Each structure stands twice: as structure tokens, then as C-alpha cells.
């Protein structure tokens, strides 16, 4: 399981919407291989050098999206990040899109929750919210 502070998730979604409004929409998370899929408000869960969520609005040339690493899989603060990435996300690099409306509804319905949790199954991933002290 990986976790992300809810406030960081909210900031990433807001940044994606802001970038999309300013620069003509949302980026395709599948490198154009699935046109139109995922080109809406949301965030990308990315596994490569660590695991992180990132904003998905279109950006001007040379700009970088807003990123938040999983607390358990941040290469800048966890020497075991590679092992954790392989255990949770898998060995290959990749991206998965999550819809903003669904995430926001789940976070709003769980007042007091502090983190978005992502658990990985064989063929799926399960998103939930949790409260940490």
C-alpha cells in the first residue's frame, strides 16, 4: 500500500485544472496510444524513479507538472524506494489515470481523512482514504 497526503492530492488536481484552463486541456497519459482516454480532470499515478501522483493539465514547453511522492516510495527520503516500488507498483515503469470527480467525492465523504491510500492487486488497484494521527 502507498499513501499520499490528501492536501497534496487536492493541490495536484487543482493545479491540473488550472494548467488545463490556461493551456488548452488535459494531456493524454497513454502517450497518444488511447486517444481521448484520461484527457479530463484527474491525476496520474506514475511509477518510475519512485511512485508519485502528478497533475495532468497541458503545460507550456519546458514546464513541469506538480508532483507528490508516495510517503513510502520517495527516493529523496527512503533508501528502500526501489524495493517498495517493485513490491507495490511493479518492476516496469507506467502510468495510471484517476478521475478527479471520483477522488474528490471520496475525499469529501470522508471528513477527517488525512491520506489517499492505493493498494495494488494482481490486475487492479484499490483507492481509499484513511486517517493517520
pLDDT in tens, 66-75: 999 999 999 9
Element at 12 (helix H, strand E): helix 6-23
Q: What pTM value is reported for the model?
A: 0.91
Q: What percent of the chain has pLDDT over 70?
A: 93
pLDDT in tens, 29-62: 776 676 666 688 999 999 999 999 999 999 999 9
CATH no. for 2-130: 3.10.150
How far apart (Å, rounded) are the C-alpha atoms in residues 51 and 88?
9
What are the residues whose beta carbons fall under 8 Å from the beta carbon of 5, sequence distance 6 or more?
68, 71, 114, 115, 116
pLDDT in tens, 15-35: 999 999 999 999 887 766 766
The per-residue pLDDT for 130 is: 94
Amino acid at each position: 500500500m502507498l499513501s499520499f497526503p490528501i492536501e497534496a492530492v487536492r493541490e495536484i488536481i487543482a493545479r491540473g485544472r488550472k494548467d488545463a484552463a490556461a493551456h488548452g486541456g488535459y494531456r493524454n497519459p497513454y502517450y497518444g496510444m488511447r486517444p481521448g482516454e484520461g484527457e479530463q480532470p484527474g491525476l496520474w499515478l506514475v511509477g518510475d524513479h519512485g511512485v508519485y501522483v502528478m497533475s495532468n493539465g497541458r503545460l507550456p514547453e519546458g514546464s513541469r507538472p506538480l508532483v507528490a511522492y508516495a510517503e513510502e516510495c520517495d527516493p529523496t527520503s527512503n533508501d528502500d524506494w526501489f524495493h517498495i516500488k517493485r513490491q507495490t507498483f511493479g518492476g516496469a515503469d507506467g502510468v495510471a489515470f484517476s478521475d478527479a470527480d471520483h477522488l474528490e467525492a471520496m475525499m469529501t465523504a470522508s471528513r477527517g481523512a488525512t491520506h489517499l491510500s492505493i493498494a495494488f492487486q494482481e490486475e487492479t488497484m484499490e483507492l481509499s482514504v484513511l486517517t493517520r494521527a
